[in-house]
Structure 1
Amino acid sequence: MAWSPDGIWLVQYNSENLYLINTQTQNICSVDLGDYGEAGQGQMFYAQWSPDGRYLSMAIKRQRPTPELNILDIESMELSILSIPLNTETWPPESIGGSTWSPNSQIILLQAGSYDAEIKKTVANWLLVDIQAHQYTNVLPDYKFLPGIGNIVWSPDGAKVAYSCSTTEDGNICLINLSQ
């Protein structure tokens, strides 16, 4: 469950359904998440509002074995799958471990997991995803994060990201300078 930044909308979701609840009128809107494949099953997770309240991002796992990053435009109620060019190293991810919006509501920092055969573990990359251009950049291509480690948060001005950069349980906090 998550509040919209203006406090008008509340999103309620579980693995298969998404509802927008207008907190002023108590109206409930069921959002069509599209085809879940022949089995009629899917999973939706990590729903998150953009800071300006216009977009709602979420990961949806449909018939493909990998999740897809989806953006719901609240103004038009259109759900779009971010069609990012396939890159066998980082896209599509085997898993999405969380995301956070930039303060300007145009970039999503996404934790994307994949299996690393060399170390025989699932590792995560952080990708900056431009929601308008449908392009991404691997933030630290030479650094592999362990899944579940790596809380990420933007600075209010969007110039930096703070994250838990430990590869063990030592709890290091690191900063990355970004240009949007």
Structure 2
Amino acid sequence: KETQKKAMKALAEHAFAPDAFRVGTSLYPYLQRQRRGYDHWRYNDDPYLHDRVIGAQRMMLVHLLHPNTLRRLVDASEYGNTYALAEMMTDLTDAIFAADRAGSVNTYRQNLQQAYVEMLAEVASGKRGHREHAQSMAVYELDRVRKGLALTSGDTGTKAHRTALKLKIDRALSTEG
């Protein structure tokens, strides 16, 4: 259990934190596409920072929320693993939402939170082979996130983001009932 908690803490600090993947602006030119020859007119030089970050974060979420991963957590509890599915899902939700409860949500975190809610809705639906334990936890976490979004602090972009999340969660939960 301690190893799994440490791993989740490392993900929370280095992959899902508000400042995760932040590098100095001096590195941005190195992320730009290199021009070679004369065939670069189709592409711009933007490094697409948000796309790169959410791509990496999404891959981690896909693994963490994969039906086999969640099934293994449930099954492992039968032979000694004490890091339960409920604890893992709660830790994951906290890693993605807790730091932003009191203020504005930066655009990287907005992308992460949108992706996480979409994936939770997918787990809750059971369409990808998730078992009942995982579906129940996904519904629980969606409801918990929804309740946490009641805060009205933050800038206009944050308020719009929270409104969009509430709408996605309401849609996901209404199809469950």
Q: Does TM, normalized by the shorter one, top 0.5?
A: no
Larger-gyration structure (1/2): 2
Higher strand content, 1 or 2? 1
TM-score, normalised to structure 1, is 0.24
TM-score, normalised to structure 2, is 0.25
